Amino acid sequence: MVQHSILKKMICWLPLFACGGCSIALGQVAPAAVSGSALNAFVSFGGQKTHVINYTYNALGVDGGLYVQRSPFLGIEVRAASYPLFARYSQSPITAGYRIELPTRGLFAMAGYVGAGMSKAQDAGPHYVPTPAQWSPCWQASQGMAVNIGMWKWKVLEATFTDTYTTRRSLPAFSLTTGVVYSLSRSRR
């Protein structure tokens, strides 16, 4: 009778232990790849293509900034850029906004950013003569991919669209950059 009762209990409890044990074992397979509240700084170099009236002009420059990523879908970023090299119409946007960073399998992470701010931009006057640079409202959207290497990340490629609203017209610009990110804090989840 006692053996029958023990066998009956094992048959009843075995599926519960199997389901419960699997969920606990699979609950944390690998550590999270997103830094918890760590302050990160980045700097990048690349080119920008600005469309003015009927023509497109190219320039080279740098961008940089700081961001805090609390979770994959919650981050804040502040960035500044300047594209003065070989520029007929230079642009220097400064924006702040919302950021996401989604870790993928392996060492890679995909990031996206949307922000707004001001840009010190030149516009085209009559006969495409550059006007003096003035502060105008702008917004940016970007997406990029990074490779995690400990405290460092290599921003393999980041594509950014910037739209600046001067008093004369909208100046859409597209830039491609590559650079590095350094985590200023060792705080990890």
For 49-106, how does the pLDDT look when each residue is reduced to its tens digit (9 = 90+)?
A: 988 888 888 999 999 999 999 999 999 999 999 999 988 888 999 999 999 999 887 8
Would you say residue 98 lies in a domain? yes
- Are 57 and 123 found together in one domain? yes
- Are 23 and 45 found together in one domain? no
Instruction: Give the tokens for residue 24.
Output: 């606990």
What residue ranges in the chain does DSSP mark as E strands?
Answer: 39-52, 55-71, 74-85, 91-103, 108-121, 134-149, 152-165, 170-183
pLDDT band at 5 (very low <50, low <70, confident <90, very high): low
pLDDT band at 24 (very low <50, low <70, confident <90, very high): very low
The answer to whether residues 154 and 180 touch, using CB atoms and an 8 Å cutoff, is yes
User: pLDDT value at position 29?
Assistant: 44
Would you say residue 146 lies in a domain? yes
- Are 26 and 77 found together in one domain? no
Would you say residue 154 lies in a domain? yes
The answer to whether residues 52 and 21 touch, using CB atoms and an 8 Å cutoff, is no
User: pLDDT value at position 103?
Assistant: 84
Would you say residue 74 lies in a domain? yes
- Are 176 and 116 found together in one domain? yes
User: pLDDT value at position 11?
Assistant: 58
Task: Read off the CATH number of the domain in which 106 is found.
Answer: 2.40.160.20
110 vs 4, more confident: 110
- Are 70 and 99 found together in one domain? yes
Mean pLDDT of 140-161: 94
Which residue range is the domain that position 86 belongs to?
A: 39-183
Instruction: Give the tokens for residue 175.
Output: 């830039």
Residues 6+ apart with CB under 8 A from 99: 67, 69, 75, 76, 77, 111, 112, 113
Would you say residue 103 lies in a domain? yes
User: pLDDT value at position 90?
Assistant: 86
User: pLDDT value at position 55?
Assistant: 83
Would you say residue 188 lies in a domain? no
The answer to whether residues 137 and 118 touch, using CB atoms and an 8 Å cutoff, is yes
Would you say residue 72 lies in a domain? yes
- Are 20 and 111 found together in one domain? no
The answer to whether residues 44 and 155 touch, using CB atoms and an 8 Å cutoff, is yes
Would you say residue 189 lies in a domain? no
- Are 26 and 98 found together in one domain? no
